[in-house]
């Protein structure tokens, strides 16, 4: 592990590529024979390309911390809330064990935006990172998360075919 405090990296914005960039860092970390844990908040479909591939990679654990459906009503909100809280507890356990070099909190900023987790709870998690590097992704991070970050990258959508056809493509979005 690193001899210095873990880095905090934030990928945010309305543009494509936040999860992809996070997974790129995970691959880079694995290439140095280090250990990675990925927690995907607000995501619950085990059929995505990244989940299908990463679930069997050595030195990597990936966990879905959301439900298969979107957050659209009070019933789905309850399910997402339960999964987000379980994901946060898992993140704490990962950091407590001190055996992971990189912890990716994919879409955790969405969980905060939709009030499934509090900003304060995420900040407390970041404070206990020790030597573990942490990546957070999502749309709209709080100012205090950006201030705490060592790297913050804003991804802006310039153009997306979704606007014309209203659909997604396997291998591109999921």
* Span 92-110, pLDDT tens digits: 999 999 999 999 999 999 9
Q: What is the mean pLDDT of residues 149-156?
A: 97
Instruction: Give how far Cα 1 sits from Cα of 4, 29, 36, 108, Å.
Output: 9, 11, 12, 24
Closest Cα partner for 102 from 136, 52, 149? 136
* Span 6-49, pLDDT tens digits: 999 999 999 999 999 999 999 999 999 999 999 999 999 999 99
* Span 115-124, pLDDT tens digits: 999 999 999 9
Under CATH, domain 8-165 is a member of which superfamily? P-loop containing nucleotide triphosphate hydrolases (3.40.50.300)
* Span 62-74, pLDDT tens digits: 999 999 988 899 9
- Domain limits of the chain? 8-165
pLDDT for res 70: 86
């Amino acid at each position: 592990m690193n001899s210095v405090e873990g880095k905090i990296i934030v990928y945010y914005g309305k543009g494509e590529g936040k999860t992809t960039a996070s997974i790129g860092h995970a691959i880079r970390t694995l290439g140095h024979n280090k250990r990675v844990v990925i927690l995907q908040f607000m995501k619950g479909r085990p059929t995505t390309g990244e989940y299908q591939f990463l679930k069997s990679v050595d030195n990597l654990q990936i966990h879905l911390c959301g439900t298969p459906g979107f957050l659209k009503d009070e019933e789905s909100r309850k399910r997402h809330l339960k999964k987000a809280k379980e994901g946060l507890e898992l993140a704490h356990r990962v950091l407590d064990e001190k055996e992971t070099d990189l912890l990716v909190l994919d879409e955790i900023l969405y969980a905060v935006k939709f009030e499934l987790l509090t900003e304060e709870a995420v900040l407390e998690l970041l404070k206990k990172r020790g030597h573990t590097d942490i990546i957070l992704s999502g749309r709209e991070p709080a100012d205090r998360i950006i201030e705490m970050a060592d790297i913050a990258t804003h991804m802006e959508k310039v153009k997306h075919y979704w606007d014309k056809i209203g659909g997604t493509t396997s291998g591109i979005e999921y």
